[in-house]
């Protein structure tokens, strides 16, 4: 594992690098506790989208990779959108080498700054496990205070595509969804993409694997703990409203997010909540 900054400036984000003997690589930012890059096995392409215009000086959320959302989801009036975790500096609690690869645990705890947004004591941990063909993100929320709190959040995963129009997402057939304040039920065995999508799927615990299929590869997306999946692509019109996305980048990405978006999760004092998302390259 290696550490470095993205540049010479004092405000540049600090990066961590993981690798396996088989040639897999991953890069994380301590700003936001953020997985930025994942290349499985030697010579395989980047599996996560990261905008060329992403702000990498710790002054704004990073566009791409896997932002950590906590303690809120969506647009907020009293705190940063999607919560404050993605704009805070995390610390490394533990880093380990294993026979199967490498892992690192990143942590965020309450501070005077976080308590101006949200008056609770907490610990958030993100354990990233890199293997030759997979990367897992184990997401833990601990209530370290004396009173119960409620949260929403998740893992806002940006997956890379060569052309989102040639990409299919399989595994949501029969799931109810919410889009544009209207409810529906998915009646297709796979989603295809030819326009903007901002759709929250509700699924039973039995639905814990999705597959992203494109000409270049097939990717398994497995989650635990999360009962909702957000599928998002802004398309060309939405992209034009985002200063940190380049023209045409909408075609290079699809967000498949493991989230808690529609209802609060209650965490009693001294208790914890656990969730995870594992990405596995099946073929290419």
pLDDT value for 154: 97
CATH number of the domain that residue 211 is part of: 2.70.98.10
pLDDT, tens digit, for every residue of 156-174?
999 999 999 999 999 999 9
Instruction: Grade residue 205 by pLDDT with cuts at 50, 70 and 90.
Output: low
236-282 pLDDT, tens digit per residue, is: 999 999 999 999 999 999 999 999 999 999 999 999 999 999 999 99
Read off the tokens for 178: 């919410």
Q: How sure is the predictor about 98, in pLDDT bands with cuts at 50, 70 and 90?
A: very high
Lowest mean pLDDT among 2-6, 87-91, 168-172: 2-6
Q: What angle do CA 272, 276, 277 make, to 5 degrees?
A: 165
Please report the pLDDT score of residue 208 as a whole number.
75
Domain range holding 123? 2-283
What pLDDT does residue 1 have?
Answer: 47
Res 284: pLDDT: 54
pLDDT surpasses 80 at 187: yes
Predicted confidence (pLDDT) at residue 123 exceeds the cutoff of 50: yes
| 261 close to 200: Cβ distance less than 8 angstroms | yes
Domain count of the fold of the chain: 1
Say whether pLDDT at 283 is over 90: no
pLDDT (tens digit per residue) in 52-69? 999 999 999 999 999 999
Task: Tell me how far CA of residue 80 lies from CA of 28, 54, 87, 116, 200, in angstroms.
Answer: 21, 17, 8, 11, 21
Distance CA 137, CA 115 (A): 26
Q: Which residue has the tokens 């929403």?
A: 152
């Amino acid at each position: 594992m290696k550490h470095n900054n993205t540049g010479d400036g004092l405000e540049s984000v600090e990066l961590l690098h993981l690798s396996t003997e088989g040639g897999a690589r991953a890069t994380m930012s301590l700003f936001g506790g953020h997985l930025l890059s994942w290349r499985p096995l030697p010579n395989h392409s980047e599996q996560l989208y990261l905008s060329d215009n992403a702000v990498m000086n710790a002054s704004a959320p990073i566009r791409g990779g896997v932002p950590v959302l906590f303690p809120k989801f969506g647009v907020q009036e009293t705190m940063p959108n999607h919560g404050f975790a993605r704009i805070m500096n995390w610390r490394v609690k533990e880093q380990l080498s294993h026979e199967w690869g490498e892992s690192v645990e990143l942590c965020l705890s309450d501070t005077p700054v976080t308590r101006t947004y949200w008056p609770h004591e907490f610990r958030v941990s993100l354990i990233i496990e890199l293997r030759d063909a997979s990367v897992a993100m184990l997401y833990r929320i601990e209530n370290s205070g004396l009173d119960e709190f409620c949260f929403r959040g998740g893992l806002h995963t940006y997956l890379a595509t060569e052309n989102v129009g040639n990409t299919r997402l399989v595994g949501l057939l029969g799931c109810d969804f919410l889009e544009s304040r209207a409810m529906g039920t998915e009646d297709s065995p796979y989603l295809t993409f030819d326009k903007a999508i901002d759709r929250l799927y509700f699924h039973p615990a039995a639905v814990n694997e999705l597959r992203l299929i494109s000409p270049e590869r097939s990717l398994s997306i497995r989650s635990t703990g999360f009962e909702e999946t957000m599928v998002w692509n802004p398309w060309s019109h939405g992209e034009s409203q985002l200063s940190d996305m380049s023209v045409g980048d909408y075609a290079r990405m699809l967000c498949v997010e493991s989230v808690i978006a529609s209802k609060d999760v209650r965490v009693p004092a001294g208790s914890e909540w656990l969730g995870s998302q594992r990405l596995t390259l099946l073929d290419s």
